[in-house]
A and B are shown apart, each in its own frame.
Chain A
Amino acid sequence: MSVTTRNGMRDRMFAAFALVATTLLCFAFGRALLTVNDERIVVALLVTLAAGIVLAERRVTRAPDSALVRGAVSTAPAAVLLAIVALILVFHANHFALLLICTLLIYVTVALGLHLQFGYAGVLNFAGAAFFGIGCYTAAVLTQLAWLPHPVVMVLGGVFAALIGLALLPPVLRTRGHYASVVTIAFGVLFTTFLEINETFGGAQGMHVAGLSLFGFDMTRNIRLSPGVTLSFYFGYAVVALLLAVGAFALVTRIERSWIGLTLDAVRLDETRSACFGIDLARWKIFAFCLGNFIIGVAGALFGMLMSFIAPPNFSFSASLMLVAIIILGGIGNRWGVLLGATLIVLVPERLQTIQEYRVLLFAALIVGLLLIRPNGLAPRRMRRYFGEGSA
C-alpha cells in the first residue's frame, strides 16, 4: 500500500518535472525559431531539433515503462499547448511572429483534416489546397454580407468544402486501389485553372476578404488594453487559430480512440476483410473525406480572413502536394507528426529566406528520400490506446 503510494508520488513528480521541462524546451525552441535572424542559427536550431527527436525516440523505445518517459509522454500535449499559449502571450505585440504562429496553427488544422483522410481511412486527397481554397473563397464572398456572423462564415466554409468534395466521391469510391487518386489530382489542378479564368471570383487578380470580427471585436486593428500594453491585431487571430487547432486535434484524438477510429483503420488496411465483418466501406470513406474537408474548409475560411487577400496561386496543385508533405514528413497516421511536419514545411521556409524559392523542390526531394530510407515517416504511428497513456 505504502509502496504504491510512494510510486504514485514519484510518478507524479516525474510527470510534473517532464511537463515543466517540455514546456520550457518547446517555448525556447519556438521563440528562437520565430525571432532569430541569422539563418545559420536557424539551421543550427533545426539540427538540434532533429537530434532531440532522435534521442527522445531512442529513449522512449528503450525504456517505454520508465517513470520519466511515461510522465513525459502523458504530459506532452499539455506542454505543447502551454508553450504555444506562452509564445502567443510573449509575442502579443509582434505582428510578424503572431502571423507565423497563426499560419502554422491553421496549417496544423488543415493537416489534421488530411490526416483523417490519408492516415485513418486511407482516402487519398491530393486536392487539399483546393478544399482550403474553397473555404477561403467562401469567406471572401460571405463576409460581404455584413449581417452574417463570422463564426457562421467559417462553418459554412467547411460545409462548402465538404459538399464539393462529396461531388467528387462517386468515381473515387468506385475506382480500385489508389488509381482513384487521379480524380483528386485532376480536381486540384483544374481548381486553380477555374479560379484564374472565372469572372465571379476575381479571376487571376484574386479577391479581398474582410477581416474577422468576433463578438464585437474587430480584428483588423490593434487593441489597446492599457497605456503600456497594445495587442497586435493578429493576437485575436492567433487565439482563434489556436482554438481551432486544439479543437481539431481533440476531435481527431477522440476519433482515433474510439470504434470509429478502429473502423477507419480497418477500411484502410483491408477492404475485403472489412466487408466480411460488416463494415460499410463507402459510408466510412465518405465520413472521413467529408469531415476532413470540413476541417480544411473551416481553416481555409480563417486563413482568408487572416490574409485579407487571396489569389489562385495560393491553392495550386503544388500547394496541395506540400500539404500532403506535412503529413508524410510527420509520419502518416501520427497526430503529433502533423505539428512537426507543419513546422518544417510552413515555418522553416519563412525563416530561411534562402530556401524560400526552392522550397517545393527541396521538400519534394526530401519526401522522395524519406520514403526510400524511412518509409513510415519521421515519427511513425504508435498503437491505438482507447483511453490515454497508462490505461489499457
Chain B
Amino acid sequence: MDIAFVSQIVVSGLILAVIYALVAVGFTLFVGVFNVLNFSHGDVLMFGAFAGFTAFLPLAGLGVTSPFLQLVLVTIASVTCTIALGLIVARFFILPLKGAPLLNTLLITLMLATVIREGVRLFYPRGSNPKSFPALLPTDFVSIGAINVRVDTIMLIFAGLAIIVATGALIERTRFGLAIRAVAQDEETARCMGVNYRLVVLGAFALGSGLAACAAMINGLYYNEVNYSMGLMLAIIGFCSAIIGGLGNIAGAILGAFIFAGLQIVGSLFMPFSSAYSDVFAFAVILVLIALKPTGLIGERVSERV
C-alpha cells in the first residue's frame, strides 16, 4: 500500500469521524438532559442541509458571488433553521412527554423523523432526487511530501474538530454547561438549586441541533450532495456511536464516532467493491461491541433506586 492511498483513507475516515462525532454529541446531550432517544435528530440535520442548499440558490442572483460570503450566509441559514426545528421538536413534542412511558417518547421522535423526512421528499421541489450541494471552499490540492490532499478537506476536518473542542469547553467551563451537567446528574436536585429545567433542556436541544447543522454543512461541502434520506443513516450511526462510547458522556460519544468511522474504513479496505457492505460490516462489529459492553466503553452512570 502506498502512502498516498493510505493518506487518502485516513483523511476520508477523519471526515466521517468528525461528522459522526457532531451527531453523536447531540444524541448524548439529549439523553443526558431528558433521557430521550431523540431519533428525529438525524432528520433535523437533513432539514438543515436542505435549508443551507435552499439558501444558496438565490445568492448568485442577488449579486453575492464571493464564495466566502456565500459560505457564511449558507451556514447561518442552515444553523438557524436547524436550531429552530430542534427547538420546535423539543418544546412541542418532547417536553410535554415528561414522565410519559419511554416507549411513547421514542415512538414520537421516530414518527416525527418520518414526518420531516417525508415532508421534504414530498413537498420540496423534486425532493426525492439528490441535490448537488455547492463547493464553496477552495478545491486545489496541497502536497505534504508524497501526500496530496484537497485544501477544503483539511479545512473541514479542522473546523469540525474545532467545533467539537469548543462544545467540550462549553460543557466543561461555562455556567450553561454546568447547568446541563447538573441536570444530567440529578434533575431534581438541580431544580432545587435553582436551575431552570425547561430552559436547560431547550438550550441542550438548541446546542445539539446547532451541532447537527455543522455536521450537515461538513457533509454537504465534502460530498457535494444532500438527499432526503441522509438523516436516517446518520441518526443510527450517531446513536450507535453514543451507545458504544457510553451514553450521556461527551468524550464517549466522540470516541464512539471515531471507532465507527474507523470500522467503515477498515470495511471498505477489505470490501472495496461496495460501501454498503462496509456499512454492514461496521454495524455488525458495533452490535458485537454493544453486546459485550452494553454500558459503553467509557462507563455511563447507572443507578436505579430500588
Binding site for B on A (CB under 8 A): 118, 122, 124, 126, 168, 170-171, 174-179, 181-183, 185-186, 189-190, 193-194, 196-197, 272, 317-318, 321, 324-325, 328, 332, 357-358, 360-361, 364-365, 367-368, 371-372, 375
Are A171 and B304 closer than 8 Å at their CB atoms? Answer: no
- The 11 sampled A-B contact pairs (Cβ below 8 Å) are A126-B110, A176-B294, A178-B102, A179-B37, A185-B39, A361-B118, A361-B122, A364-B111, A364-B118, A371-B104, A372-B96
What is the distance, in angstroms, from A389's C-beta to the closest C-beta of chain B? Answer: 28
Q: Is B1 an interface residue (CB 8 A)?
A: no
| Chain B residues with a Cβ closer than 8 Å to the other chain, count | 43
User: How many angstroms between the C-alpha atoms of A300 and B61 in the bound complex?
Assistant: 53
B162 interface residue per 8 A CB criterion: no
Residues of B within 8 A of A367 (CB): 107-108, 111
Q: A182-B236, A185-B236 are in contact. Are A171 and B290 (CB under 8 A)?
A: yes
Ranked nearest first, the 9 interchain pairs of A and B with the lowest CB-CB distance are A361-B118, A364-B114, A174-B294, A170-B291, A171-B290, A171-B291, A364-B111, A367-B111, A197-B276
- Report whether A182 and B37 are in contact in the complex, using a CB–CB cutoff of 8 Å: yes
Contact B104 A375 (CB under 8 A): yes
Contact B110 A321 (CB under 8 A): yes
Which residue on B lies nearest to A367, using beta carbons? Answer: B111
Query: A171-B290, A272-B304, A372-B93 known; A176 and B295 CB under 8 Å?
Result: yes
Kindly report which residue of chain B lies nearest to residue A167, judged by CB atoms.
B287
Confirm or deny: B170 has a beta carbon within 8 angstroms of a beta carbon on chain A.
no
Is A190 within 8 A of B118, CB to CB? no
A174 and B291 contacting across the interface, CB-CB below 8 Å: yes
User: Other than the known A178-B103, A182-B240, A371-B107, what 5 A-B pairs have Cβ atoms closer than 8 Å?
Assistant: A175-B290, A178-B37, A189-B233, A361-B122, A371-B97
Report how far A317 CA is from B42 CA in the complex, Å.
14
Complex contacts, A328 vs chain B, CB 8 Å: 107
A175 touching B243 in the complex, CB below 8 Å, given contacts A197-B276, A361-B115, A364-B115: yes
**Interface segment out of the listed B8-16, B131-139, B277-285:** B277-285
Contact A272 B37 (CB under 8 A): no
| A269–B110 CA distance with the chains assembled, in angstroms | 22
Across the two chains, which residue of chain A brings its CB closest to B101?
A375
Bound form: Cα–Cα A182–B237 in Å: 9
In angstroms, Cα B293 to Cα A174, docked, is 8
- Chain A residues in 8 Å Cβ range of B168: none
Q: A186 near B115 (CB under 8 angstroms)?
A: no
Q: Given the complex of chains A and B, what is the CA–CA distance between A355 and B111 in angstroms?
A: 18
Chain B's nearest CB lies how many Å from the CB of A116? 15
Within 8 A of A (CB), among B218-273: 232-233, 236, 239-240, 243, 247
Known: A272-B306, A364-B115, A375-B100. A182 touches B283 (CB 8 A): no
Interface string of B20-55 (1 = CB under 8 A from A): 000000000000000001010000000000000000
| B143 on the A face (CB < 8 A) | no
Chain B residues near A196 (CB, 8 Å)?
A: 276
Does any Cβ of A come within 8 Å of B302's Cβ? Answer: yes
The reply to whether A318 and B233 contact each other, CB–CB distance below 8 Å, is: no
The winner among B107, B108, B112 for most chain A CB atoms within 10 A is: B107
Task: Give the nearest-CB partner of A359 in chain B.
Answer: B118
Tell whether B119 is near chain A: CB-to-CB under 8 Å: yes
- List chain A residues, Cβ under 8 A from B291: 170-171, 174
Which chain B residues numbered 107 to 128 have a C-beta less than 8 Å away from chain A? 107-108, 110-112, 114-115, 118-119, 122
B297 lies within 8 A of chain A by Cβ: no
Q: Which residue of A lies closest to B100 (CB)?
A: A375
Pick the residue among B96, B103, B283 that contacts A190 (CB under 8 A): B283
CB of A143, distance to nearest CB on chain B (Å): 27
Cα A22 to Cα B259 in complex, Å, equals 59
The answer to whether A176 touches B302, judged by C-beta atoms less than 8 angstroms apart, is yes
Please report the C-alpha to C-alpha distance between residue A311 and residue B239 in the assembled complex, in whole angstroms. Answer: 29
Judged by a CB distance under 8 angstroms, whether B66 is at the interface is no
A361: chain B residues within 8 A (beta carbon): 114-115, 118-119, 122
In Å, the complex CA distance between A168 and B287 comes to 8
Q: Does B65 contact A (CB under 8 A)?
A: no
Q: In the complex where A176-B302, A190-B283, A368-B111 touch, is A181 in contact with B233 (Cβ < 8 A)?
A: no
Would you call B84 an interface residue if the criterion is a C-beta within 8 Å of the partner chain's C-beta atoms?
no
> Is B274 part of the contact surface with A, judged by Cβ < 8 Å?
yes
Closest B residue to A365 by beta carbon equals B115
Do A124 and B106 touch across chains, with their CB atoms under 8 A apart? yes
- B111 to A182, Cβ gap below 8 A? no
Q: Are A324 and B295 in contact (CB under 8 A)?
A: no
Inter-chain CA distance A193–B287, complex, in Å, is: 17
Q: Is the pair A182, B280 in contact by a Cβ cutoff of 8 Å?
A: no
Residues of chain B lying within 8 A (CB to CB) of residue A118 = 103
Bound-state CA distance A137–B221 (Å) is 39
- B279 CB contact (under 8 Å) in A174, A178, A185, A193: A193
With both chains docked as a complex, state the minimum distance between the C-beta of B229 and any C-beta of chain A, in angstroms: 9
- Measured between alpha carbons, how far is A174 from B294 in the docked complex, in Å? 6
User: Are A175 and B118 within 8 A (Cβ)?
Assistant: no
Give the distance in Å from the alpha carbon of A124 to the alpha carbon of B101 in the complex.
13
